[in-house]
Amino acid sequence: MKKSLIALAVLAASGAAMAQSSVTLYGVADAAITKQSGSGTQMSSGTSGLPGQVSMTNGTSRLGVRGVEDLGGGLKAGFNFETGLSLEDGANSAAGGGFWGRSAHLWLGGNWGTFKMGRSLNPSFYGVSQGWELTGAANYNVLSNTFRWAGAGPRNSSQFSYKSPSFGGFTGELAYIAKPDNGGAAKWDANVIYANGPISAAIAANKVTNGKTNYAFGGKYNFGSFILAASYNARKDGVRREGFEIGGTALFGAFSVTADITRDRRNDAGKKHTNVLLEGKYALSKRTFVYLAGLRLDGTNNYGLGVRHNF
C-alpha cells in the first residue's frame, strides 16, 4: 500500500513538473527582390548571392525551437536551437556554424541572473542592437555593415556567459570563450546596457588574447513620434576601422522611415567612407510588414524590396 502511494506521489510530482515546462516553435519568413552592386536583380531570403556582399533582406529566414522549465524556487532552465534557411530553394543557410549555426545553447536563470552555455548571440551584439541600432538589427543595417557589432561578429561558439538582473534599468553581461575553443586564444565579450522609459544606452567591448580591444558606445532617445540615435564604434583588432554614427526614425502609425549615417574617422583598409541607409517599413499586422531599403556602403549602391513575416 505504501509503495502504491509513493508511486502515485511520484507520478503526480512528475505531471506537475511537466505542466510547468513548455516548448515553442518559432521562425521568420523573409523574402525580397534585391539589387546589389556587382549583381543583377534577384530574389533573396537572407544570403547576399555573392561572397562579401551585404544582404538586402530585413532578416534571414529561419526556424527555431526554444523551451523553458520552471524548476521551482524561482529557478528556470531552458534551451534554444535555431537554423537559417533559404526561401529560394529550401536549403539550410548556416551562420558560421553547423545546421543549428544561429543558436545552440542552454541556460539556467533566476532572480540572480542568467547563466548560458553554447553558441549564441554575444554581448557585443546585444549592446549595439539594444543600445542604439535603429532597424532592429536588419541585415542591411549600416552600423554592422560598416563597423561590425562593436568590431566583432554577432555570435560566439563555445561561449559561457552571465547576464545580471536589472538594477534600475541597468544590466550587464560578460561572456568568455576558453583558449582551446577559440583557436588557441581566449576571448572575452561584455556589455553594460541602460534601458528605462524613452532612453536606452550601452557600451560594448570584446577582446581576443594578444589582440586589441574592440568597443562601441552610444544611445537613443524616443520622443514618441521620432527616435534619435548616435554612437561611436571602433574595430581595433584586425583591419582597424572606427568612426561615428547618427540616425533617426520617424513614426507615422503603421509606417516608419529611418535614415542612418556612418562616417569613418579612420579606415586602415583605404578610403574613408560616409555610408547611408534609408529604410521605409509598413506594418500589415503585428507579425508582418513590407519594407524598402537603400544602402550606400563603401562606394556601392544596394537596394531591397521585401516582406517579412514572424511566427
pLDDT of residue 91: 85
Tell me if the pTM is above 0.75.
yes
CB pairs under 8 A, 24+ apart, for 164-167?
Answer: 164/113, 165/111, 165/112, 165/113
Q: Looking at this protein, which amino acid is placed at residue 198?
A: P
- Cβ atoms of residues 261 and 274 within 8 Å: yes
Query: What's residue 50's pLDDT?
Result: 55
The strand pairing partners of 285, in sequence order, are none
pLDDT reported for residue 44: 86
* DSSP output for 173-192: EEEEE-GGGTTT--EEEEEE
Measure the CA–CA gap between 85 and 307, rounded to whole angstroms.
16
Q: Residue 143's pLDDT is what? A: 97
Please report the pLDDT score of residue 3 as a whole number: 44
Q: Give strand ranges (E) for the chain.
A: 21-35, 42-44, 62-72, 75-85, 92-93, 103-110, 113-121, 155-163, 170-177, 187-196, 199-208, 214-222, 226-235, 241-252, 255-267, 274-283, 288-297, 300-310
What is the per-residue pLDDT for 40? Answer: 80
What pLDDT is recorded for position 13? Answer: 47
Taking the C-alpha atoms of residue 138 and residue 133, their distance in angstroms, rounded to an integer, is 9
* pLDDT at residue 52 in the model: 64
Q: What pLDDT, on a 0 to 100 scale, did the predictor assign at position 32? A: 96
pLDDT tens-place values along the chain, 311 residues long: 444 444 444 444 444 444 478 999 999 999 999 998 888 888 888 766 555 678 999 999 999 999 999 999 999 999 999 999 999 888 888 777 789 999 999 999 999 999 999 999 999 999 999 999 999 999 999 999 999 999 999 999 999 999 999 999 999 999 999 999 999 999 999 999 999 999 999 999 999 999 999 999 999 999 999 999 999 999 999 999 999 999 999 999 999 999 999 999 999 998 999 999 999 999 999 999 999 999 999 999 999 999 999 99
Domains (range + CATH), the chain? 24-310 (2.40.160.10)
In terms of Cβ atoms closer than 10 Å to its own Cβ (0-12, 13-18, 19+), residue 52 is: exposed
